[in-house]
């Protein structure tokens, strides 16, 4: 007898073996609490860029516009002790720009994720299918911390396309970090979900903007501030056949001035199940 989908359970391909396990659904259908999940180190560098270049990265008709200065945030995250992976972890490299969304129903201020590399298939599939996050694969080793520097890299099948280094880091108290000026208040991370229509390749099957609210419960343990630099290395098609245009688009972004670097150590992560469509 053919199977039927169970109500209120999450599925993804292949659906034939029953409901799927992942960050938003355990093997018995329950959710993960998250308070002790994701022992995380986040290394980030910000730089002032070219407004026209960043506006060209926003989808037309999507209700998105740049919000404030054209500042790009590039980050590398190193995560251990993840509940939904039974204690395993993975690493990511992502790029965000500040946006505001004006729609027929919704208004939101957020950080628009233009790309997110991850070094594990499972979060890539779940994040793309369920949330609309622009996740793709990359080789992302743990950071190298030596001689007062923290170095982060990313590659694709041996081609190194990204380098980032932070140094001169000074630890702030959590109270000092919370009181830092010019901290932009956001409603969360904004993604643009797009799935092509099978057989009619020029048309989308799905296209809309999603909002992922703040990913609590997160408890900061350490906050460090200093200086940093980064580089995306230009690639030929032969170097990265499916990603060269992404890397080259980032490599071409103008860096007018760097706006500092941070290292934040924290623990805790929500399951992002409250992500929703913006209209």
Fold topology of 34-278: Acetoacetate decarboxylase-like (2.40.400)
200-213 and 276-278: which strand pairing?
antiparallel
pLDDT of residue 13: 96
Confidence at residue 181, expressed as pLDDT on a 0 to 100 scale:
84
- The total number of residues shown for the chain amounts to 279
- Residue 65: closest CA among 27, 98, 17: 98
Look at residue 215 in the predicted model and tell me its pLDDT: 64
What number of CA atoms fall less than 13 Å from residue 179's CA on the CB side? 5
- β-pair type (135-137, 107-118): parallel
Q: pLDDT tens-digit profile of 86-136?
A: 999 999 999 999 999 999 999 999 999 999 999 999 999 999 999 999 999
How far apart are alpha carbons 27 and 222 in whole angstroms? 33
Q: Which structure tokens are listed for 69? A: 């200065």
- pLDDT tens-place string over residues 23-73: 999 999 999 988 889 999 999 999 999 999 999 999 988 899 999 999 999
Residue of 185, 176, 194, 85 whose CA lies nearest to 135: 194
> Is the model's pLDDT at 184 over the cut of 90?
no
The whole-angstrom separation of Cα 17 and Cα 63 is 39
Q: How much is the average pLDDT of 173-186?
A: 88
Q: Which two tokens stand for residue 224?
A: 């460090």
Whole-structure pTM value: 0.96
3-state class percentages of the chain: helix first, strand second, coil last, to nearest 5: 15, 45, 40
Q: How far is CA 69 from CA 176, 189, 190, in A?
A: 24, 17, 17
Contact (CB, 8 A) for 268 and 36: yes
| Alpha-carbon span 183 to 230, nearest angstrom | 22
CA distances from 138 to 44, 116, 243 (A): 18, 9, 10
Residue 61, pLDDT score: 85
Residues with Cβ within 8 Å of 81's Cβ and at least 6 positions away in sequence, in order, are 36, 37, 38, 39, 87, 89, 267
Q: What are the residue boundaries of the structural domains of the chain, listed by start?
A: 34-278
Concatenate the DSSP letters of all residues of 217-253 into one string: S-EEEEEEEEEEEEEEPP--TTT-TTTHHHHHHHHTS
φ and ψ at residue 103, rounded to 5 degrees: -120, -175
Q: Is 17 helix (H, G, I), strand (E, B) or coil?
A: helix
Q: DSSP for 52-92, please give it.
A: HHHHTTSPTTSSEEE-SS-EEEEEEEEEE--GGGTT--EEE
């Amino acid at each position: 007898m053919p199977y039927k989908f169970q109500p209120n359970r999450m599925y993804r391909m292949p659906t034939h073996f029953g409901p799927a396990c992942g960050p938003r659904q355990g093997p018995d259908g329950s959710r993960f609490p998250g308070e002790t999940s994701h022992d995380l180190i986040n290394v980030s560098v910000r730089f002032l860029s070219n407004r026209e270049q960043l506006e060209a990265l926003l989808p037309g008709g999507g209700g998105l516009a740049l919000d404030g200065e054209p500042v790009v945030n590039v980050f590398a995250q190193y995560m251990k002790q993840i509940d939904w992976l039974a204690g395993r972890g993975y690493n990511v490299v992502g790029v965000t720009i500040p946006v505001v969304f004006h729609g027929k129903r919704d208004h939101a201020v957020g950080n628009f994720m233009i790309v997110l590399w991850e070094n594990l298939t499972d979060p890539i599939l779940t994040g793309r299918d369920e949330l609309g996050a622009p996740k793709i694969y990359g080789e992302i080793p743990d950071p190298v911390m030596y001689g007062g520097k923290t170095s982060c890299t990313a590659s694709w099948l041996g081609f190194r396309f990204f380098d980032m280094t932070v140094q001169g880091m000074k630890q702030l108290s959590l109270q000092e970090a919370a009181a830092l000026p010019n901290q932009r208040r956001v409603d969360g991370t904004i993604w643009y979900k797009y799935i092509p229509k099978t057989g009619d390749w020029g048309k989308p099957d799905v296209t809309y903007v999603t909002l992922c609210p703040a990913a609590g419960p997160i408890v900061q343990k350490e906050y460090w501030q200093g200086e940093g630099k980064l580089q995306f290395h230009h690639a030929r098609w032969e170097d990265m056949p499916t990603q060269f245009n992404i890397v080259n688009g980032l490599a071409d972004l103008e860096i007018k001035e760097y706006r500092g670097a941070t290292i934040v150590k924290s623990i805790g992560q929500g399951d992002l199940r409250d992500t929703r469509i913006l209209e």
